[in-house]
Structure 1
Amino acid sequence: MASEPSWDDIFGPGSLTPSTPATTPTPTAIATSVADPGEPAPLSRRALREGSDGGAGARPRKKKRRGRGPWGWIIAVLVILGLVTAGGVYVWSNYGEKIQEVLGIAPPNDYEGAGNGEEITIVIEPGDIGSDVAAKLERAGVTKTFDAFYALLLEDSSITFEPGNYKLQKEMSAAAALEALRDPANRIINRVTIPEGVSAATALELIAASTEIPLEELQAEAANFTQFGIPANSPSIEGWLFPATYTFDPGVTANGAIKMLVDQMYATLDAAGVAPENRLTVLTMASIVQRESGPNLEDMPKIARVFQNRIDRGMLLQSDATVHYGLGDMSSVWTSPEERADASNPYNTYANPGLPIGPIGLPGADAVNAAVGPADGTWLYFVTVNLKTGETVFSNTLAEHDRAAKQLYAWCEESDENAAYCG
């Protein structure tokens, strides 16, 4: 990174300039900072670390569910009165699920039929397991619930999924969705969707799965990344492939496919006003913002601000996402004290100050724009309190952050579906 311009060189004094290194994190607490000695760093939005509720990756004890409270009586009255009056339809449409819960009537957790005709592309990434696929289908509106699809997988442990892009419909029954994913006719050829935040290695595998280009050829061309105009001080092609949906002509070469993605990333950086000599620094920050963010785009500039504020105060970034990238293991969002203390990992932002040596994934346009223009704010902490919706709490103080972290612990324990997001 010695030859890479500083953040001040890019955006002027007072921006994301690495400050005096903070003290190295210890296994017994989260790293202290120069600006705030003894104060732990923030929990990542996607991972729990040591802090107010036990050791790294610790799960809270299950708590007894509270009673239904006055809702039960209120809704019971609404049922009796509403259903025998002209307002019955309104009551049921607005409170139907709650009424069913109070009366002990389980609402259906599955759609019927093969879909509503609205086509949607589902991307199965290399390494996706059953719970990953179940979560993707629910989020995309293909299946009604996580449980409906996941239950089918539990019944047959032999079910596996091939990486690639698949054509499905919204509002499919779980059984219909499973059948569609296992039908080669639904696999999309010569069109590939590269999700934001995935690694370059995953992008190459998805291209190979959707074209006739051998993966080995793609990997060989990517290893020679300077041929695409990528600076030699970049550790690899990581970060330089723009995530989007591409349609390739039949017979496209490995070089041609990669060049298409790199050129699109250049166009995105140019549109954001990033000079060519500053691209690597911006992509590195943008990739962390992308990996740490959820589905709520408005959070990205806030996350960029948190990292900028921490660097400005001489605090370590302490991103679990960077640690995992350096370990080559993206299967978990949890880090251990030993992993966080390993300064030999050049992507470990717990043990090493400033930005890591390069990008940790493929950022989209929103993440690039957030890195260039962080939101205004004084936050030093953030944690996602609902990993399904991406609801995130940003805090200025450790006390505020601890309260938010407890919300996440509690959410993870509420159901098996929630626990699947917390693994």
Structure 2
Amino acid sequence: MADDLDWNAIIAPGNDAERRKTTSDRAATPDERGGAVDASGTQHVAGRPMSRREAREAEAARAREASATDSVAAGDTPVASTPDELHPEVHALLTGEVRVDDDARAGALGAARPAVPDEGRPDQGDHGSGGAGDDGRGGRGGRGGASRAPRGPREPRAKRRRGPLIAGIVIVAVVLGGGVSAYAFAAPKVQQLVSAISGSKEPDDYTGGGTSKVTITIKQGDIGEDVAKTLQRSGVVKDSKVFYKLLLASPDVQFQPGSYSLKKKMSSKSALAALQDKDNRVQASIVIPEGTALKDIEAGMVSKAGLSEAEVSAAAKDLSAYGLPSNVTTLEGWLFPATYPINPGWTATQYFKSMVDTMKEHLAAAGVAEADQEHVIVFASLVQKEAGLAADYPKVARVFQNRLDKGMKLQSDATVAYGTGNTHTVTTTDAERADASNRYNTYVHDGLPPAPISNPGDVAIQAVTHEASGNWLYFVTVNLETGETVFSDTYDQHLAAVKQFQAWLRAHPDYQ
């Protein structure tokens, strides 16, 4: 099929009449031997008709001349620089959709079954990549495979796809003729064709021994498929199916429940070998620092305890499993910050229950009555995020309590940030502080936030239950290196402290 294409006619813009005129003008030009081709196509040499041998030699000479001329003046040939300027057949091939004529369809299918009249014949649909004969070259299955009955006007036929070889040849021709602009248009198609022809695709397994360290846990009762999913979830292997296939081919492998120190982006083979090495067995734990938010604790349970996101999320929502007060609406704030050893036999609910029970123990030790637990936790979660130095915690608690007593808004950036989903910083924008749709926005809404914004530790709990004495209504950290904080009774005093902080920032541009 490719050899039958007239590349100049295909690439050159213009209509068929213009292209025929160009071809006719070129054919009527005398050749090197003084011969010419007349309108009927008969070739002459020096006023007499050529013999067949002479005609063949003349044709070969003209072909060599045309080739040499094209190689010298290739830039003179009009070329398509956009898809709209392409010959219709080239455009169809580049898009992968070609309408195969009825005669070609008959040639392709005629050998398989007798011909039938078109009237009433159901559409054939797509019978493969190109709908051609066994040679697979798309539309060149041979004519005359079966006779055809007379028929009326042709009806639209289903679009058929030709094989990648022809489209690839056309793209190469366009690139050679059109240069950079044509390449930019055709390059994506070339890449798709290369992938389709070679069968190449993105590797489904990493190579090598991995990069950064990660700890994974094999739970009691896990089967091979569970282990494979845990490895993929933790970023150790790229595809759990690849690891599982390797595991099926290794019948002697057995896993022991526990935690293992591995690396991210390991090949399946390397990961399997690492799990069999007893030196990689570790005593892992879930570490919860003070002020950590619930969603970060959930992520740690998934990555360290070998639990699925769905299991952890479901356990976090099932508040009835933890014996919480009736007014509690979330586990946020009730998970005491501590280090919890990984127990391979535990469920997500068991981990959460251990954290909740620990929080209850510390609230009781701080003298908090059960009826006051939720209020204390909400207040302490705010102090935990806003205070810096441990000595300042009781002062920060007093500032917020004084504002509550005076009916002032708390104006805490930490609460606003939490309401936007940001659990790692306390900085906010003017627009965020003005957003009344944020239930946690204490610049707009009165009182404490509707629920805790972090999981507070002992220092914050003690600060709320034992506030410092003072009339402060404002505070601002004036030295980010030392954590020095200035507490003010009046707004003017506070503005002076803010200027002090701004001066420190100018002197330390790295902190901005």
| TM-score bracket for this pair, using the shorter chain length | 0.5 to 0.7
Between the two proteins, what is the percent identity of the paired residues? Answer: 46
Q: Cα deviation per residue 1:262-296 (whole Å; 9 max; x = unaligned)?
A: 001000111111111211111000000000012x1
In structure 1, what is the Cα distance between the partners aligned to 2:372 and 2:477? 30
Aligned residues of 1:189 and 1:211 also touching (Cα < 8 A): no
Could you tell me the TM-score, scaled by structure 1's length? 0.54
State the alpha-carbon separation in 2 of the partners of residues 375 and 192 from structure 1: 33
Larger deviation: 350-359 or 385-394?
A: 385-394
Contact 1:190/1:250 (8 A) holds in 2: no
Residue 405 of structure 1 aligns with which residue? 498
Q: Which of 225, 249, 253 is the matching residue for 2:347?
A: 253
- Indicate conservation of the 8 Å contact 1:282/1:371, yes or no: yes
After superposition, give the CA deviation of every residue in 1:179-209 in whole Å (9 maximum; x if it has no partner). xx99679997531211111101111212222
Residue deviations 1:241-271, cap 9 Å, x none? 0011121323222111111110010001111
**Unpaired runs of at least 5, structure 1:** 1-159, 166-180
Q: 1:297 aligns with which of 382, 385, 390?
A: 390
Number of residue-to-residue matches in the alignment: 245
Matched with 2:324 is 230
User: Higher Cα Rg: structure 1 or 2?
Assistant: 2
Q: How does 1:115-194 map to 2 (within 5 A)?
A: 190-194=284-288
1:15-72 residue CA offsets vs partner (Å, 9 max, x unmatched): xxxxxxxxxxxxxxxxxxxxxxxxxxxxxxxxxxxxxxxxxxxxxxxxxxxxxxxxxx
Question: Does residue 240 of structure 2 align to residue 240 of structure 1?
Answer: no
Cα pair 1:286 1:368 within 8 Å, conserved: yes
Name the structure 1 match of 2:375.
281
Partner of 1:323: 416
Alpha carbons 1:226, 1:232 under 8 Å: kept: no
In structure 2, the partner of 1:333 is: 426
The 1:161–1:354 alpha-carbon spacing in structure 2 relative to 1, beyond 3 Å, is farther
Q: Quick one: distance in 2 between partners of 1:319 and 1:163?
A: 36
Q: Give, as a single letter, the amino acid of the residue that structure 1 aligns with 2:299.
A: E
Partner of 1:234: helix, strand, or coil? coil
Q: TM-score, normalised by structure 2?
A: 0.45
What is the match of residue 342 of structure 1?
Answer: 435
Choose between structure 1 and 2: higher helix proportion: 2
CA distance in 1 between partners of 2:394 and 2:215 (Å): 31
- Mapped to 2, the partners of 1:236 and 1:163 lie a distance apart of 29
Cα distance in 1, alignment partners of residues 364 and 328 from structure 2: 18
1:396 CA displacement: 1.1
What CA RMSD, in Å, does the superposition of the two structures yield over aligned residues?
2.7
Relative to structure 1, is the Cα distance of residues 395 and 257 closer, same or farther in structure 2, using a 3 angstrom cutoff?
Answer: same
**Structure 1 residues 257 and 331, CA gap change in structure 2 (3 angstroms):** closer
Give the deviation of 1:164 after TM superposition.
7.6
Task: Give the distance between the partners of 1:378 and 1:183, measured in 2 at CA.
Answer: 53
* AA of the residue aligned to 2:434: A
Is the contact between residue 240 and residue 262 of structure 1 (CA under 8 Å) also seen in structure 2? yes
2:313 aligns with one of 219, 237, 259: 219
Counterpart pick for 2:487 among 376, 386, 394: 394
Change (3 A) 1:316 1:213: same
Task: Report what 2:511 is aligned to.
Answer: 418
Q: Distance in 2 between matches of 1:397 and 1:344?
A: 30
Structure 2: unaligned runs, 5 residues or longer: 1-210, 217-260, 265-278
Kept after mapping to 1: 8 A contact 2:214/2:263: no
SS at match of 1:235: coil
